[in-house]
Amino acid sequence: MANQDIALMAHLMRRAGFGATREELEALCEKGYENVVEELLNPTEEPLDRFEMMRYQPWTWRPGTLPGMGAAEWLWWMLNTRRPLEEKMTLFWHHIFATGVSKVDHYDEIQNMITMFREKGMGNYRELLVEIARNPAMIYWLDNNENHADAVNENWGRELLELFSMGVGNYTEVDVRECSRAFTGWTFEAKLPRGPLGRHDWHFEYRPEDHDNGEKTFLGETGNFNGEDIIDIVCQHPATAGFVARHLYNFFVADEAQVPAWQVTPPVDEDAIDALTDAFIDSGYDMKETLRVLFNSDFFKNARFAKLKSPAEVVVGTLKLVGGAEFPAPGIGDLSRQPNYMGQDLLNPPSVEGWHTGAEWINSGSLMRRINFTADMVGDVSRPGVQSIVSRLRSQGDVGPEQFVDTCLDLMGPLDVSADTRQELLDHAVPGGSLTWSNEAAATERVSELLQLIVSLRDYQYA
């Protein structure tokens, strides 16, 4: 099997999922790239069964706010799903419709939002906007329950335009006001308090008596608009398609400028944005059709390692590589906290703007966390994925240091590294001489050391 095929398939699975083992990559290559894209877009595997999680970790059904481990169940989904793109799109929408437990104070409500993303994230964007506008966690997060016919609150209306659809510069303050008026009366029913018997769901409620039925003028159109009318106008605005396209590019293809800079910083690849914009519009805002264009494009295929991994990608990708974390064992809460230690507290983004990505993921503390976690994982030779790497090396018999280094880089990605980086790895490997299996424990130890060095590389931080 050509190494380029494996490299391209690994690239696809890192971006459209959370990575895959070498065995999985080899099986996927047999199917062919475009067929795998179709499988990702139209998964036939059953979704995970949430009851499996409830069976062993019942506290994850309605987790309390403290000590902040509400993402344990989601981590389990990301690790185990057989529908990886669906889960990656769930993470994508969580980046955009960023809603946090810091204010909502109910992990279960944000979990419900995550479930909605999982079910509708590859569907129609307009429908998704309607769902998110009706989502109680979002309503509370952006104060739409305080948006009344006689006292307009502009928080939701503003963010809908600024961060969820068109972006700054495409609307006026009057549009924000009129948009907000259209969403008056969109709220949720009172629910029982969390104590003393545990948490209960919020439910969306439309209160017609609290809706402003007056005429509104929004983006040049005038009428007695309600919320869905606003969403229709927003979707038809050309800026929206470009905004979603640029988000898709930044999340799936290559690091872009951060959202606040989009007004003044042109896209990295304008042609790519145009292609995604056209696909989005031509398909009637269909995410699946837009993603098909993205994954089959040359600009995607040529973007290997052009994106810094998010903390969630680091943690889940590494766990998938090393294996052994599939069962929801004690400690899953700790695992679910690892992205947070690296700067991405899942279900609790820092603001409605979500996380800043790319180089902004990295600082001295977060980098140390990345390296410590990944080195701990690949250094554990009892893990099945590490054993698999050791086994493949052993099957090659005794090899010189160069082949030892190159094979490890290959099995860890394949990873592309610079000549300088490869030389540094060789500087470590050469003094040990050839990798020989007469002393299996010593050979395994050498493999473990090299794998730990590899995950410490700058190159491993890129997807």
Partner 1 sequence: MLTQVAAGRTYDYSHSVGRGAQSGMGFSQPVAAAQGPNGVVYVVNRGSEGISNVSWNRIGYGARVSQITIGPEWGQEEFLGEFSKYGDGNGEFIWGSGVAVDSQGRVYVSDEWLNQINVYDAEGNFLNRWSALESDDGGEHGTANIAIDADDNIYVTDGRSHEVRKFASDGKFIASWGGRGSDNGQFNAPWGITIDQAGNVYVADHRNHRVQKFTADGKWLASIGSPGAGRGQLHLPTAVAVDPQGDVYVADWSDNGQHPGRVHIFDAEGDYIITLIGDAMELSSWAKLTVDANADYLKRRREVNLQNMESEWRFALPTGLMYDAANNRLLVVDSQRSRFQIYNKVSGYMVPQMNL
Which residues contribute to the site for partner 1 (CB under 8 A)?
51, 54-59, 61-64, 67-69, 72, 189-193, 195-198, 200-201, 203, 327, 329-334, 337, 341
Helix (H, G, I), strand (E, B) or coil at 295: helix
For the beta carbon of residue 365, count every other beta carbon within 10 angstroms: 11
CB of 202 to partner 1, least distance (A): 9
Distance, CA of 4 to CA of 290 (rounded, Å): 25
CB of 56 to partner 1, least distance (A): 7
Helix (H, G, I), strand (E, B) or coil at 238: helix
58 vs 208, which CB is nearer to partner 1? Answer: 58
Q: Tell which residue, 413, 425, 421, 457, has the closest CA to residue 318.
A: 413
103 vs 203, which CB is nearer to partner 1? Answer: 203
User: 């099995």: which residue's tokens?
Assistant: 411
218 vs 341, which CB is nearer to partner 1? Answer: 341
Burial class of residue 55 (count of CB atoms within 10 Å of its CB; 0-12, 13-18, 19+): exposed
CB of 10 to partner 1, least distance (A): 30
CB of 47 to partner 1, least distance (A): 16
Distance, CA of 16 to CA of 14 (rounded, Å): 6
CB of 61 to partner 1, least distance (A): 6
53 vs 91, which CB is nearer to partner 1? Answer: 53
Instruction: List Cβ neighbours of 45 (8 Å cut-off, separation of 6 or more).
Output: 82, 83
200 vs 458, which CB is nearer to partner 1? Answer: 200
Q: Give me 198's structure tokens.
A: 């545990």
60 vs 147, which CB is nearer to partner 1? Answer: 60
Angle formed by the axes of helices 173-182 and 227-236, nearest 10°? 140
CB of 104 to partner 1, least distance (A): 16
Phi first, then psi: what are they for 308, rounded to 5°? Answer: -75, 135
Q: Give me 463's structure tokens.
A: 């997807």
Residues forming beta bridges with residue 151, ordered by sequence position: 148
148 vs 428, which CB is nearer to partner 1? Answer: 148
CB of 241 to partner 1, least distance (A): 39
